Amino acid sequence: MRAAAAICGLAVFGAMAVPVMRGEAIGFDLPVRAAIHGWAFPALTAAMRAITMIGSEYFLVPLAAILVWRWLRRGERRAAYLLVAGSLGAEAVAQLLKALIHRPRPEVFFGLVSAETYSFPSGHAFVPAVLFGIMAGILAAGARWRAAVVVMAALLGFSRVYLGFHYPSDVVAGWALAVVWLALWAIVADRRAASPA
């Protein structure tokens, strides 16, 4: 199942990445972006700005640091390793792909300042989904936790399109990468757990 998830995620990412690398437009980007922006009203904008901050380093780094500190104090080094290596690896992959593909950012809405990095894939769609997914796998493997990760990833991705920081295809690619990364990381975690060392 995990291998199948990784393959499907790669297929979706490739479907988004190939046209972008060729400089071609992705048909649903502008209509979906315009439709989402058409829903704008002040209360929703304030909510989306708050939600998008959850995907920023200002929230994720302190959260991860607290969890790692707590796990290390309790002797749970494996959990700390999985969270740190998994999330930092995801950030490195996101930044590498941005640099390689170098898709310019769309024009942001609501007078916000555009991010300095490239647009594809969305780091806010990719990295937080990985971090929260690893957290859910460590803290509780129940369906409710997995559903919470999906909802948070969906809200973060929606916020990035709503505020204008990303095209929808950037977000879809970020979600696809998160599926790939979490599937591979689950395989790594299982192998480490099964190893006598």
Residue 197 has pLDDT above 50, yes or no: no
Buried residues in 159-192 as b, exposed as e (16+ CB within 10 A): bbbbbbbbbbbbbbbbbbbbbbbbbbbbeebeee
CA distances from 73 to 66, 70, 88, 137, 175 (A): 11, 5, 21, 20, 33
Question: Cβ(35)–Cβ(168) under 8 Å?
Answer: no
> CA–CA separation, 148 vs 93, rounded Å?
24
Residue that has been written with the tokens 């593909």 in this structure: 101
Structure confidence by residue, pLDDT tens digits, 86-121: 899 999 999 999 999 999 999 899 888 888 889 999
Q: Residue 152's closest CA among 174, 132, 122? A: 132
Q: Residue 162's closest CA among 50, 54, 34, 56? A: 34
Domains of the chain, each with CATH number or no CATH: 2-21+34-194 (1.20.144)
Q: How high is the pLDDT of residue 79?
A: 86
Q: What angle do CA 98, 186, 99 make, to 5 degrees?
A: 5
Structure confidence by residue, pLDDT tens digits, 143-170: 677 788 888 889 999 999 999 999 999 9
Residue 154 has which token pair?
A: 């969906």
Residue 196 has pLDDT above 90, yes or no: no
pTM (two decimals) = 0.88
Across the chain, how many H-helices and E-strands are there? 8, 0
3-state secondary structure of 165: coil
DSSP string, 29-94: HHHHHHHHHTT--HHHHHHHHHHHHHTSHHHHHHHHHHHHHHHHHTT-HHHHHHHHHHHHHHHHHH
